[in-house]
Structure 1
Amino acid sequence: MPVERRDDGNLVFGYLDTASADLSGASDTVLVRARTGDEGYAAEMRPSRFGALSGCDISGDQAIRVMPRPSPEAPRPGHLLGLLVSGRGELEQDGRRAELSPGDFVLYTGARPFRLELESGHRYFVLSLDTGSTGQLATAAGALTANAALPRSPSGRVLAAMVGELAERAHGFGPLARREMGEHVSAILRTLLREAGGSESASGPAASGVLDRILAYIDERLAEELSPGSIAAAHHISVRHLHALFRESGVTVGDHVRRRRLERIRRDLVDPALAHLPAYVLAARTGLGEASHFSRVFRAEFGLSPRAVRERARAGA
């Protein structure tokens, strides 16, 4: 955990943006001040990675105040989800204040001023969000940063429970499971954001029914051409309407088709009945025929090569 002592506090960075060894390039820089006396800052920090999400489990005995201090040279900070595992805390941003008890989470962004206060004996788990969730937060109609009501909603309670389990078991998952857990967290968060922003009611039950039919159609025809034009035509809607349905779900049509194809391939790779078929044959059966391209996108999605996934399945990992 890089810490640089300053007259006004301690600059801390690299707990989420672990690739940045230099303060000027880190997107996660914060100023941490001890709330009792002129003290340095010390805490136990355990970074982790869940696919597109970066996480850090932070335990400290000091009562502290945290404020953003992004470097002008660093990438623009994104949105964060912070879950209080133990202790007491409070987050203030955009004119709202959320008190935190164990099990509560809060959404905020390092791109705007915030004040996070944690009492002594705290444990705090923070996640940097994926671009899809950040985009939804940035365009949401509701006031979602520092919103104390979010953890109380049905989707919020599910999200809080899952992130809490993630904090407890972060280092017990393998590479594939960590990536899957990150995808699950992002999917539940997008559901929460749609509900909180009113997107579900704006779409209405009719639009939801159309999207359900489209998702089933895609799953049944992964080996066929699945361009936006062909999908829209099969359901007698415009391409523009199709894109709007997926945009409310926080994903593009192309991304959804690609992910479903890769999930199907991964399922087939671990199926003993298909062990005699090479990975490229399984890929061709789901519309990803070019071997080099398939291997590249598969590794990017799951963090493992098709061969490694199959070998782990054979070993019972």
Structure 2
Amino acid sequence: MLTETIFRSEKLPRADRFDHWCELISTTHIPLELRSDHAAEYLAYQRVITLGAVQVWPTVYQPLHFYRTPKLIRRSDPEQFHIALPLRGVNHVECAGQTASFAPYELHFFDSSQPFHLYSTNDNGLFSGVGINIPKALLPKQADQLLGRPMPGREGIGALFTQFLARLVADSGSLTPADGPRLGTVLADLACALFAQALDAEHALPSETRQRNLALRIKAFIRQNLPDPKLTPSTIAAAHHISVRYLHRIFRNEDRTVVAWIRHQRLEHAARDLTDPTQHATPIHAIAARWGFARHADFTRAFRGAYGVPPRDYRSERRCAIDLPDAGPHPGAGGDLRDPVADASGHDR
């Protein structure tokens, strides 16, 4: 699996929790001063996933003030941007003489070279979100013009960014360390596209970055339209205003052709439904139709080719429920310390 570290404050004595949390944040992020009205017995969860030069950290914690001071900047500056995605709660930010508040799914960022004060709070309990640390060298030079401005995480490239982030965090256990740098590059490219869109300067991005971003947009389009049996390279190309030839050229760097990638995604979703205990009464032909297979015979043949057995046998052999990730402790009184991954899919709790 990818390189990960996990912190749960409830595993420590109450008196030591906040000090450990402060030290951890300054190690995994940048040196910061932290203050909280709940420091006496602090509740916090953090998972840090390392993707080469990029770090991703889903986190849940009680209301907290972060201070990045000139003194701390002089002590250490890794020259990076921190992109923040609030999921539950609000980030209140003071930076460069301006104040702003960011609600759930309003992406925003901080510059490690500039002082700021961040207050994360949630009137209903614990704050949760996902942070991304990216070296400045990987992002557009004009990015600092966006400091203090929200970037929507539910539409356009922002939605692609949050969806990719959610999938990456949810599937990190099945990925290898060798996948990390490549996924970090993809995430940085998406961040470039997000910033460029906000700056209205996508044309300034390198051609390779634009092509990778287009590939991600196309894959997101395919996933959203898998149930449509008329989903073809022609309809995909038309929806993205490119030629079919160019579409095939984009997929040259993938391990499957466009048609094969569509079939793989459909079969993967169908296999997941076949093993879902809540769908054990759903007819197999209905599941096949749900994922774009107009003819049951075509589905059976494709499924046997991919999984080695017919869908009926596959379902009977795997009638057990899919294991879910550890939901973590539920301390009550103000929230829970669940990993916020599910929230990053775009749904409020």
| TM-score, normalisation: structure 1 | 0.50
Q: Which has the higher contact order (CA 8 A, sep 6+)?
A: 2
